[in-house]
């Protein structure tokens, strides 16, 4: 078996593994409160150790709260949760994409997937003053402008432009919207944004319905779709595709079309990451195994950026490891190990039921690590959630400036509305 270039460089660099130290930093409040709950988006780590995030709901209603979590100056003391902005109903809700920092202003830029679009939240000039919220764009689904930006933003460091996608939207009484790739360019002060890109995905059997974040490499955007390709017994609307798009020339290329198992398929949310200068790493909800129930198999795969070869599965998650691998993986700071989460997954029985199959027997989710081991990758279970105290259904992870892993759970915990957790290095 031929070893991938980036894998060969890592074989001798596998880190020693120490027992993880899991702790809960914050429990989101009950639905009876008027505070944010049910975080569906990953955290964003600030350079000073502060964590930023957004919830999908406020109490029982969609909307959400943008918040920060600040570490104490006293080691081991509690972190401080601060609400930065509470979204109004007219500003959208149910955020699922990771926020980014606007590279020139330090403002947070993010998306809301329902009834909203792209927002910008700027920090105050004086600490303690309110943050300033503005909508860059609202997607209505009417007139073919897109709806449902599930993924987060990607910003071009050379121009400051931001890029993202909207998902499949079955409009009633009009043509179906199969998704868009969009782009916006800021003015000099990053106060006003002009749309510079609107690529509309074609109808099936072409690839369509993008959910995840885009990867930007040398001016080219890379992404995935949930649907598209040949109809199979596993995929009634196609198993999904991997694509590239050049904003400078408006050139769209389909790099890979999945036919289902054993290939990766159903490319859902999550952020692709670079493996090296010529490959990227992504995740899929399906593929890599046989006789899998819905969301009970998944893969971590690598693929050449030029599409010269099909994806290579480096980890097929099944059995105890399985359960909805619909978030991306991240590198550790040394680029010697990958870390990821599954939404379900056991061996723990889930003590919190949120639509999980078999009354929680599929588990509440895991945190795992992958390290290179010869021509394969070694799987290590970092933490299995039980849903009762530590949360359930974890989202994509992020590394803090202290080298620890941080994340949110979309449900579970003492109030059943999610948690924020830390895993010490």
pLDDT, tens digit (0-9, with 9 covering 90-100), for 291-302: 665 556 789 999
**Chain centre distance of CA 341:** 11
Q: What digits encode the pLDDT tens for the residues 90-135?
A: 898 899 999 999 988 999 999 999 887 999 999 999 988 999 999 9
Q: Name the pTM for this structure.
A: 0.92
pLDDT given at position 5: 54
Is 266:211 a contact under the CB 8 Å cutoff?
no
Q: What is the C-alpha to C-alpha distance for residues 284 and 288, in angstroms, rounded to an integer?
A: 9
Q: Which of 110, 116, 109, 113 is nearest to 92 (CA)?
A: 116
Burial (CB < 10 A; 0-12, 13-18, 19+), residue 175, is exposed
Mean pLDDT of 269-288: 92
pLDDT given at position 352: 67
| String of DSSP letters for 66-84 | EEEEE--SSTTPPPEEEEE
Q: Which of 20, 34, 18 is nearest to 421 (CA)?
A: 20
Q: What is the C-alpha to C-alpha distance for residues 355 and 217, in angstroms, rounded to an integer?
A: 38
Q: Which of the pair, 61 or 244, is modelled with greater confidence?
A: 244
Lowest-confidence segment of 65-69, 201-205, 249-253, 402-406 by average pLDDT = 201-205
Helix (H) or strand (E) holding 6: helix 5-10
Q: What is the C-alpha to C-alpha distance for residues 99 and 162, in angstroms, rounded to an integer?
A: 12
pLDDT at 274 over 70: yes
pLDDT given at position 361: 60
Lowest-confidence segment of 25-29, 197-201, 313-317 by average pLDDT = 313-317
Share of the chain above pLDDT 70, in %: 88
pLDDT at 89 over 70: yes
Is 281:304 a contact under the CB 8 Å cutoff?
no
pLDDT given at position 7: 55
pLDDT given at position 377: 92
pLDDT at 2 over 90: no
| Partner residues linked to 216 by β-bridges | 221
| CB atoms inside a 10 Å sphere around CB 152 | 27
Is 152:172 a contact under the CB 8 Å cutoff?
no
pLDDT at 17 over 70: no
Mean pLDDT of 71-91: 90
SS3 label, residue 9: helix
pLDDT given at position 399: 96
pLDDT at 414 over 60: yes
Q: What is the C-alpha to C-alpha distance for residues 364 and 320, in angstroms, rounded to an integer?
A: 11
């Amino acid at each position: 078996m031929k070893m991938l270039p980036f894998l060969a460089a890592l074989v001798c660099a596998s880190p020693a593994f120490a027992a993880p130290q899991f702790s809960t930093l914050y429990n989101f409040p009950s639905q009876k409160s008027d505070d944010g709950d049910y975080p569906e988006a990953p955290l964003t780590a600030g350079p000073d150790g502060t964590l930023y995030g957004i919830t999908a709901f406020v109490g029982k209603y969609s909307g959400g709260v943008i918040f920060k979590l600040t570490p104490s100056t006293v080691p081991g003391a509690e972190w401080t949760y601060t609400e930065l902005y509470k979204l109004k109903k007219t500003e959208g809700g149910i955020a699922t994409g990771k926020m980014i920092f606007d590279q020139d202003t330090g403002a947070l830029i993010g998306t809301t997937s329902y009834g909203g679009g792209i927002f910008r939240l700027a920090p105050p000039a004086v600490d303690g003053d309110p943050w300033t919220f503005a909508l860059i764009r609202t997607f209505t689904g009417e007139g073919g402008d897109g709806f449902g930006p599930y993924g987060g933003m990607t910003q071009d460091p050379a121009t400051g432009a931001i890029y993202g996608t909207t998902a499949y939207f079955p409009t009633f009484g009009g043509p179906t919207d199969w998704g868009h790739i969009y782009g916006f360019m800021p003015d000099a002060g990053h106060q006003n944004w002009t749309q510079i890109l609107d690529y509309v995905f074609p109808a099936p059997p072409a690839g369509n319905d993008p959910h995840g974040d885009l990867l930007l490499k040398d001016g080219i955007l890379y992404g995935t779709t949930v649907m598209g390709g040949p109809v199979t017994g596993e995929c009634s609307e196609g198993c999904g595709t991997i694509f590239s798009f050049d904003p400078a020339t408006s050139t769209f290329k389909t790099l890979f079309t999945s036919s289902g198992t054993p290939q990766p398929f159903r490319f859902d949310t999550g952020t692709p990451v670079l493996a090296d200068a010529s490959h990227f790493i992504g995740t899929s909800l399906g593929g890599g195994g046989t006789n899998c129930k819905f969301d009970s198999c998944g893969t971590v795969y690598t693929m050449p950026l030029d599409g010269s070869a099909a994806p290579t599965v480096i980890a097929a998650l099944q059995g105890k490891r399985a359960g909805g691998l619909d978030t991306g993986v991240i590198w550790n700071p040394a680029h010697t190990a990958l870390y990821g989460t599954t939404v379900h997954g056991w061996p723990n029985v889930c003590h919190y039921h949120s639509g999980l199959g078999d009354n929680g027997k599929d588990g509440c989710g895991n945190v795992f690590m992958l390290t290179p081991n010869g021509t394969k990758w070694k799987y290590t279970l970092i933490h299995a959630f039980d849903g009762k105290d530590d949360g359930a259904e974890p989202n994509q992870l992020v590394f803090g400036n202290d080298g620890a892993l941080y994340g949110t759970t979309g449900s579970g915990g003492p109030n059943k509305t999610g948690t924020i957790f830390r895993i010490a290095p």
